[in-house]
Amino acid sequence: MSDIVRRPLANRDLLEIFRHYAREGGLRVADRFFAEAEATFARLASMPGMGTRYQPDKPLYADLRYIPVSRFRKYLVFYRPVPGGIEVLRVRSTGRVR
Q: For residue range 36-63, list pLDDT tens digits in order.
A: 999 999 999 999 999 999 887 777 777 8
Per the structure, the complete domain to which residue 86 belongs is given by: 3-93
Total number of domains in the chain:
1
Q: How many CB atoms lie within 10 A of CB 31?
A: 13
Residue 98 in domain: no
Rounded percentage of the chain residues whose pLDDT exceeds 90: 83
Residue 65 in domain: yes
Residue 62 in domain: yes
Question: Cα(first)–Cα(last) distance of the chain, in Å?
Answer: 31
Q: Which H or E run contains 85?
A: strand 85-93
CATH number of the domain to which 26 belongs: 3.30.2310.20
Residue 44 in domain: yes
Q: How far apart are CA 27 and CA 95, in angstroms?
A: 23
Cα of 60 vs its chain's centroid, Å: 19
Residue 48 in domain: yes
Q: How far apart are CA 43 and CA 25, in angstroms?
A: 26
Which ranges of the chain would DSSP assign to H, the alpha helix? 8-24, 27-46
Q: How confident is the model at residue 1 (pLDDT cuts 50, 70, 90)?
A: low
Residue 83 in domain: yes
